[in-house]
Amino acid sequence: MNSKKFIFIIGIVIAFLLAVHPGFASDELKASDNGKLINGQEYVKNRVLVKFSEDETPTAETTESSARGRIPGRNARHNQLATVLSHRYRSEIKGVRYHKYTGYYMVETQENCDIAALCRKLRLEPFVIDASPDYYAVIDSTVPTGYESSKPVLAASCPASTAPGTAIYPDDEYFQYQYALYNTGQVYLPETGLSGTTGSDIKAPAGWAWTTGSEDMIIAVIDSGVSGDHEDLAGKVIQGYNFVNDTPDASDDHGHGTFAASIAAANTNNGVGIAGVCWHARIMPLKTMAASGYGSYSNIAAGIRYAAEHGAHVINLSVGGRNPSPVLEDACKYAYEQGVVLVCSAGNYSPNVHYPAAYDDYCLAVAATGADDQHAPFSNTGPEVDVAAPGYFVWGARFSPYEPDNLSSYRWDSGTSFACPYAAGAAALLISYKPFLTNAQIMSLIKYTADDVNQDEDPGVDEFLGYGRLNLRTLLEPYELN
């Protein structure tokens, strides 16, 4: 049996064992491997999102909101239209309210209402631009969050940091196991003895020779929240928002958001934990996913708009759903037009790229590779895939709501969720180094400087890895023009 097959089989066995690990069952909704909800609830029960056509007579609230550069507020005409819908479809609609975070109207339906049928009828109204269910998205990890690997036995130290302009190797305890950043063929998973292939990494030390980032950079992490008390994120987490519970407290109650945030921007070269991609970036936690690992599109859209309005340079979206939706696309378009770089996970175990990653005009869709630069078996494929990054057994900061005082532990996990923050961190590095670039230029450079690691099988841009695996050296290294 060749080594690649062996590694793949070992990975499947480990994933299976973890899948049945007690204590990590969802307390709310659950999902099958292909992303469809087992109980049939693909969208929020008894809710429809409606977008009305615009008019030219805004109220004072709309005028004030627009002057501040915020999303359009409701106007008198829209309120009247909401009343019309409530009366015209009173057998199906219980009430209509304005959703201040997205600019859409939320229709609360009667129990047992046929949501799909109501949406079709509402779309026929001349003053309705769209009516859609409020779909669920899911976090894009493959291993139940909360699993802690045993602490690795430290191997020989990495090379010492050298003079400016040459590769930089941080002194973080787990850096030597982060094959994603620097792959020497080392054992990266002590429990199994799995080792990588030399050079199958994002060339982080070579990229850090040019910049390790800036404290001015803000990466919004739209996820389950972030634990700012974890030792590797201490002092990094700024004010965010919790859209699940409508409160400023965006603490993590799942663990997924903390893990993703640490990959993008953990405290680095501090002798503990892991190394983050953008050492000095700050994290804006935007909680849109419940403890179950699910979140509504309306909350995700609200998080995207909030990030764009509150100074985020990069948005990390390690979440996704199978269905397109105007509320989600509008939010992505809005943030993109504000100059934000949106980095999204491609999704797992589905035949197509998840949304919002599939909104190719506004988002950078990230697939996952392993320690041998091969396409991860769970990573979604499609023409929307732009770039890939390691996402198979990668290390990050562990936070578990079952152990809220355990703020100094680490673990490994898999999923396009954790390939995504490598690219988000890369975008933050590039903005730090070349702040004059536009978001479109940044996204293009990330794609065009990637390594076409699967060129023997699929040369050029392909539906598996897009332009290739992320490369920080070629992304950041200055080029001399002759």
At 11-43, the pLDDT tens digits run 443 443 333 222 222 223 333 333 344 345 899
Topology given in CATH for the domain delimited by 142-476: Rossmann fold (3.40.50)
Confidence band for 140, pLDDT divided at 50, 70 and 90: confident
Q: Is it the case that residue 353 has pLDDT exceeding 50?
A: yes
62-80 tens-digit pLDDT: 334 333 334 444 678 888 8
pLDDT at 356 over 80: yes
- Quick one: pLDDT band at residue 407, thresholds 50, 70, 90? confident
Would residue 408 show up in a list of annotated catalytic residues for this protein?
Answer: no
223 catalytic per annotation: yes
pLDDT tens digits, 263-312: 999 999 999 999 999 999 999 999 999 999 999 999 999 999 999 999 99
Q: Is the pLDDT of residue 155 over 70?
A: no
Q: Give mean pLDDT, residues 319-340.
A: 97
**Which part of the chain is CATH 3.30.70?**
43-136
What is the arithmetic mean of pLDDT over 175-179?
Answer: 95
Whether residue 134 lies in the annotated active site: no
Is pLDDT at 380 greater than 60 in this prediction?
A: yes
Report CA-CA distances (Å) from 308 to 57, 69, 147, 301, 334. 26, 10, 33, 11, 8
Domain with CATH 3.40.50.200 in the chain: 142-476
As a whole number of angstroms, the distance between CA 42 and CA 184 comes to 43
Alpha carbon 311 to chain centroid distance?
Answer: 18
Catalytic residue among 141, 325, 379, 417: 417
The pLDDT > 70 percentage for the chain reads: 82
The yes-or-no verdict on residue 150 having pLDDT over 50 is no
Position 21 scores a pLDDT of: 29
pLDDT for the residue numbered 171: 94
Q: pLDDT at residue 56 above 60?
A: no
Q: What is the CATH number of domain 43-136?
A: 3.30.70
pLDDT for position 165: 61
Q: pLDDT at position 77, please?
A: 85
Annotated active-site residue in 134, 140, 201, 223: 223
Which residue among the candidates 99, 230, 254, 256 is catalytic per the annotation? 256
Q: Give the global pTM.
A: 0.86
